[in-house]
């Protein structure tokens, strides 16, 4: 049986969560789960470059089969939405440059796939990530745990869509 490896990305500009999750014979395992951070004092283009190169390095090291990214939803702060959107664009570019298929999921889809409830709390999702990956504790920081949830969502969702 083939192992399928997915890179989950929780986009941002100050903190980008990433997690590489593998699935073999319906068993999930975590390969890496961490964050890329940028300094607010750095020029914006430097921050974007750090995200791009950080994700490109992760892709080169772990060779994922595909990438799953959270869709953005901002109702209030336009400035934050634009900055995070640019960080998200750089994440998509890193995946595209590597020739990887990209799938996007809303926060509700991610919560539904991981916890079974679209309005689940961050704590509930983190705990299910811990259980599904057989970890002793929830990955930290939250952005890393969110990236793992995004990867799990993709692995579960794409399996379901193949059955249709």
Give residue-wise pLDDT tens across range 28-40. 999 999 999 999 9
Q: Is 146 a known active-site residue?
A: no
What pLDDT score does 79 carry?
77
* Mean pLDDT, rounded, for 121-130: 93
* Whether 67 contacts 101, CB under 8 Å: yes
Query: Could you confirm whether 10 is annotated as catalytic?
Result: yes
Alpha carbons 145 and 141: distance in angstroms, whole number: 7
Q: Please state the domain extents for the chain.
A: 4-163
Q: State the average pLDDT over residues 141-150.
A: 96
Structure tokens at 136: 């002793």
**pLDDT tens for each residue of 59-77:** 999 999 999 999 987 656 7
3-state secondary structure of 63: coil
Residues facing residue 17 across a β-bridge: 10, 35
The pLDDT value recorded for residue 84 is 87
List 24, 127, 143, 146, catalytic entry:
143
Share of the chain above pLDDT 70, in %: 93
Half-sphere exposure of 24 (CA within 13 A, CB side): 8
Fold classification of 4-163 is Nucleotidyltransferase; domain 5 (3.30.420)
* Cβ neighbours of 42 (radius 10 Å): 12
Catalytic entry in 23, 45, 66, 70: 70
70 assigned to active site: yes
The pLDDT value recorded for residue 139 is: 95
Please compute the mean of the pLDDT values over residues 95-111 and round it to a whole number.
Answer: 96
pLDDT of residue 33: 97
- Please tell me the pTM assigned to this model: 0.93
How confident is the prediction for the chain on average, in pLDDT? Answer: 92
pLDDT value for 161:
47
Q: What is the CB neighbour count within 10 angstroms for residue 43?
A: 9
Question: Which of 10, 57, 66, 127 is labelled catalytic?
Answer: 10
Mean pLDDT for 86-96 is: 96
């Amino acid at each position: 049986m083939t192992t399928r490896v997915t890179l989950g990305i929780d986009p941002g500009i100050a903190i980008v969560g990433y997690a590489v999750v593998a699935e073999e014979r319906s068993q999930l395992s975590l390969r890496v789960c961490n964050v890329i951070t940028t300094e607010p004092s750095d020029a914006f283009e430097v921050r974007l470059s750090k995200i791009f190169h950080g994700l490109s390095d992760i892709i080169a090291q772990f060779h994922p089969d595909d990438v799953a990214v959270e869709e953005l939803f901002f109702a209030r702060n336009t400035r934050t939405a634009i900055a995070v959107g640019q960080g998200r664009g750089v994440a998509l570019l890193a995946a595209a440059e590597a020739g990887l298929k990209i799938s996007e999921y809303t926060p509700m889809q991610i919560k539904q796939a991981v916890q079974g409830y679209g309005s689940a709390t961050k704590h509930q999702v983190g705990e299910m990530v811990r259980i599904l990956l057989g970890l002793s504790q929830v990955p930290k920081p939250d952005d890393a745990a969110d990236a793992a949830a995004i990867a799990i969502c993709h692995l579960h969702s794409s399996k379901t869509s193949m059955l249709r």
